[in-house]
Structure 1
Amino acid sequence: MEEIKNIEEVKKFYDLGLHEDVLKAIDDMGFEEPSKIQARVIPTLLEGADVIGQAQTGTGKTLAFGAPVISKIERGGAHIKCLVLAPTRELAVQVNDELARIAKYSRTRILPIYGGQPIDRQIKSVKRGIDIAVGTPGRILDLIKRRVLDLSQIEFLILDEADEMLNMGFIDDIEEILKNANDDRQTMLFSATMPAEIKKLSKRYMKEDTQHISIDKRTVTGATVSQFYYEVKNKDRFETLCRVLDVDEPTAAIIFCKTKRGVDEVVEAMQARGYSVEGMHGDMTQTHRMNTLRKFKEGNLDYLVATDVAARGIDVENVTHVINYDLPQDTESYVHRIGRTGRAGREGVAYTLVTSREYMTLKQIERSTQSKIKRKEIPTIDDIFEAKYKNMIEKVQETLQSDDYKRFVPVVQELDEEFNLVDVSAALMAMIYSKEVSFDYTEDSIATKGGEQKVRLFLSIGKIDKVTPKQILMYLNEANVNKTDIGEIDLYDKFSFVDVSEAVVDSIVKKCYGKKINGRKVRVEKANRK
């Protein structure tokens, strides 16, 4: 079958020549298949060529340069081996965190260097010895001028978001840094656009045989696909999936998981609850996948649970729903996933389950795809009952229009002698309902499980201000709230979210607004969930 052939031709990370420690870390991160830019950039960098990578945000650029660099560098020693320049401290922290995940099993020493942090502490860390520095141009240049950072033996230099650094006026700083770097280094430049000054920079400071790798901008998602998301807690992810399936009752749906283990766990849990479902991922044999795909195409399976790599090449016209049980690793994968529905002009639905921590990633996907992903409330038991009731009534009406039921008339007449026929009908519907609903729901609404529903508050302070959850709790104590009124606290770079009981919202906003944390006045208000 052509579908399976296409699946087999897709490169895996272990095909690209990466170090086994890096491959182990990538596996832990849940990535099974490289994105387009990763598949093209990684082998080129491993071969030693300079690279210009032109691709949008959200395509996996950090892994594209981080995996080969960490695979190649010799760790230890007094000299820095790699410098990554980023336009903002937020991006520097993000890149540093991603590189740390890639270097999980190697002893690579990585340090973020940016303004707003004590320079003395950064100087001490550099002098102790680092392999990779991730920093903003201004602070990096400052350390070079102080003769703290020596780039004379550097092996790799990466300019990330080069066009943004140009827009922010860093071009002179970048040139100065490049002049101080070892001429024999391998240089990588990543940029979404390629303005004239970036081209000049690359000609001046990169080798003549530099490889220019451009990834087409794929931002348009199917117009026939309606996109929604459910905000869930991790512990409620599977129950949310069951509630959605019980309300919508898709005739054919593909459920996407990030990892092979995730596919196996979801399939096992769904099968235990009576769903007609099988899984597909890279560890399964081609024959197994062909048989599973055939059953799904022929309508003998209602649900297919798959990883991104296993779903490549699947073209089934009657798929009504795509459900992202886990967020994909990049925008390109999201576009590919939801493209499995809404085929041949038909209407399709795409649902994504996200935690509060994943919400910002979803918004980035929304911006990159130029589409609207609307919020939906998790179905309640009443919603499920209403959907099942309508479905049962339709089936009863269809049966009454045929003669198939008439052989049961004598049986019902016997029951009529002993029971009320309305009670008999209700009992039969209850029997059908119990088989139709697979999950043992105990609460009407997941949102109210374990207590009162919380309201989300926005605080204008975040990680860059060195704020801690404990400090936020002390800040909220200005309103004399109980610990039971405070739920999850989510810290981001420039802001934070806190879930609180509805009863204390007005008191917190009134008494805490403008009060200081770490010397900075904090704005607190109800978060806009839209």
Structure 2
Amino acid sequence: MPHTTAPESATPNAFVELGLAPQLTDILAAQGFNTPTPIQAASIPELLAGNDIMASAQTGTGKTAAFLLPALHRLTKEAKHFARGPRILVLTPTRELAEQVSKVATDLCRNIHRCKVVSVVGGVPYPVQNKLLSQPYEVLVATPGRLTDLMRSGRIDFKRLEMLVLDEADRMLDMGFIDEVEAIVDALPKERQTALFSATLTESVQRFAVPMLKAPKLVEMAPQATMQAQIEQSVHYADGYEHKQKLTAALLKKNEGQQTIIFTATKISADELSEWLKMEGFRSAAMHGDLAQRDRRRTLDRLRRGDIDVLVATDVAARGIDVAGITLVLNFDLPRFSEDYIHRIGRTGRAGRSGEAVSLVTKNDFTLLTRIRRQYNLNFSVQVIEGLEARFQPGRAGTGGHDRGRPGGGRGRPAGNGGGRGYQGNRDGGYQGNRDRDAGRSESYNGGRSEGTHPRGEAGYQSHHRPSSSRDNGYQGQNRDRSFGTGQSRDRDGGRTGGYGNGNRDGGYEGNRGGYGGGRDNGYQGNRGSYGGRDAAPRTGGFGGGNRDGGYAGRGGDGQRRSSGGYQGKPSGNRGGGRFE
């Protein structure tokens, strides 16, 4: 695969030198943009030459314009006929990102004759979108789920399509859109140009992309170089949920007068943290997938107007947010996947601006932090706020071994194969010390929270959370949080029922409950897919060991009920520096 390295800089007025049509360069000049970003300088010539590309660039580097400018350049040449159906199709993983791309495309094509942009995303009534699609348009920006629905109804004709763009392809995979994207690609003309953009070009992304690209040119930017230059990244160690809250309040006071995005692992955590911040006097709002599209737009508008200073969000909901005033990204919970870290901190330090990214790291997060650091060769400075020092220090606790002191007043046996209440392992959100807080907030399959039924998406990759092999985490019945928690619920008397151990002990194995291997007939039976509902070989015993074939059936990636196997489904201005994003 040919390889193109993004140049470090470009000459002034280089948009003209790149060969873009005057209709586009005039718009850019009027807006004060005359210097392409590195990803633009590397991608635009390849796309203007008609090549397919596979590009690696994190958000905030100008990648939207990198594919829109050459795509819209095509529209400066008259089509063979002006009719319904797009000439350009852009697929994005989220509604917010689709709206952002649509807005930029609309601004750029003001000087192009008959250039109309249509966006189709979930959360908008079908009749409204059907009316838009019944009129002539040139550019279609869509999310995969809604687009496949409209395709099945025969509302879209792709005969005129000339170019396909897959934006944030890694996120599409994470959200389980493989089947939808493949169905869309199969419906497109074979003779087309394709551009794929992703924050990282992992093996899974490349396997996904290669069948739909023709001899693609590879355009790569080193993410760590860009991030290290523009975003100051640091870590604060924490001992648990309440310690994280105190650190968050202190950091927000330090950032007073600026805007912050805080990332949490679940929708419930986002709501609860936002409400707590309001009680502490901060102008805060939460944004996640449970909010109606109208409410999400309203929240973003409030953020852009400066009516709120703190947005508490999940990974999915925050995609596509482009607010110039965001100077701090705070990872209240570390992401389960390293790629999500790149997307998160890309909310600040955009278009050449500086920003700050702070991660709150507990003992159980340290392995995740190490993985992120190694994958992207990042350097994190360790910061301490006076009076809020953590008992946990990596030099003492390391990444796995049992801490010599009791972590937060744990009692009973050390966390091993079963155990008492003690230190329960991988709890990001709950208090790690001597409180039993959040026992009812488990995002597990115990009937308590809806997030636990999502294999990916906004609750983190809960279904794929590994139990730690260390003495601290032991095998607590897949841990009490973010796990397949059948059998992990509380008894009315407050005892624990999951994990391995003595049959009559609170922390042990109870034969008539879910647990691991118990006699309950609706335990989790497995048959997990890899991403977003892709079928995999059934697990014979599953986690339940019961008498039903299905266990927790749910819906498969194709929307059908599974009679055997586990849950397969998926959740549903002035930019400065003369750079254009």
Settle same-fold status: TM greater than 0.5: no
Q: Which has the larger radius of gyration?
A: 1
TM-score, structure 2 normalization: 0.40
TM-score, structure 1 normalization: 0.43
Bigger share in helix = 1
